[in-house]
């Protein structure tokens, strides 16, 4: 399986160190408060599991799953909630935990939806950011790594449900050359 993949962009060690840093930064920023981590299924599960172990504050976890409508949804950003949160986020500090932000359309929809639920605050922590393809302006409060415009898998991210268990982040196609900024 591994020999069908391309260049390793982020090693296990790089990810481990950065996730620990993010955990420390989030813990400092929210010191004295309680957090609700909203994990966007399914790709962010691995990141969430590591991140929460680096938080030194009380944090609950909830999950949301969304899926695109039809074939042209990636261009329209029309998505549908497949699984909603189990608990109310009213008066809670919410941190959305995302795997990767590409066009930003999915996250824009999700944030719009969450911001109508009377949370005290709603912020975003994305492990990976691919700003080259952004179609809507989005503020990412915490970003693990900024990547070039390449399709990547591993550390939770999939292609057709494969490769989520890889400990590193790797370019899917062996032929793809990632532009460097
Ligand atoms: P956006 O709405 O275009 O920002 O898409 C975000 C979603 O697309 C992510 O949560 C992923 O599920 C998926 N996605 C975007 N880029 C990649 C990638 O490089 N690898 C795996 N999934 C990706």
Q: Which atom of ligand 1 is nearest to 102's Cα?
A: 4
Is pLDDT above 50 for 66?
yes
Q: Looking at the domain that runs over 13-151, which CATH code has it been given?
A: 3.40.50.2020
Average pLDDT over residues 36-63: 97
Radius of gyration of the chain (CA): 16
| pLDDT for res 75 | 53
What is the whole-number distance in angstroms between the Cα of residue 28 and the centre of ligand 1?
29
Q: Which residues are tagged catalytic?
A: 102
Residue nearest to atom 11 of ligand 1 (CA): 100
**DSSP 8-state symbol, 178:** P
pLDDT at 178: 79
pTM, two decimal places: 0.94
Please tell me the residue having the least CA distance from ligand 1 atom 20: 152
Which amino acid residue places its CA nearest to atom 8 of ligand 1?
102
Phi, psi of 110 (to 5 degrees): -60, -45
Our answer on whether the CB atom of 104 is closer than 6 Å to any ligand 1 atom is yes
* Beta strand spans in the chain (E): 8-10, 35-41, 59-68, 79-83, 93-101, 121-129, 142-146, 152-153, 169-171
Q: What confidence category does residue 175 fall into, taking pLDDT thresholds of 50, 70 and 90? A: confident
């Amino acid at each position: 399986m591994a020999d069908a993949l391309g260049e390793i962009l982020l090693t296990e060690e790089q990810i481990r160190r950065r996730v620990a840093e993010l955990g420390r930064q989030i813990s400092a920023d929210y010191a004295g408060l309680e957090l609700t981590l909203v994990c966007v299924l399914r790709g962010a599960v691995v990141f969430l599991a590591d991140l929460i172990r680096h938080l030194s504050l009380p944090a609950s976890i909830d999950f949301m799953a969304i899926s695109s409508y039809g074939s042209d949804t990636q261009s329209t950003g029309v998505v549908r909630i497949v699984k909603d949160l189990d608990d109310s986020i009213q008066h809670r500090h919410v941190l959305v935990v995302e795997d990767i932000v590409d066009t930003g359309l999915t996250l824009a929809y999700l944030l719009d939806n969450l911001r109508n639920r009377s949370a005290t605050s709603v912020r975003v922590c994305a492990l990976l950011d691919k700003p080259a393809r952004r179609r809507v302006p989005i503020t990412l409060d915490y970003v693990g790594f900024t990547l070039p415009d390449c399709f990547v898998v591993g550390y939770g991210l999939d292609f057709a449900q494969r490769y989520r268990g890889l400990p590193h982040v790797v370019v899917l196609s062996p032929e793809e050359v990632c532009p460097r900024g």
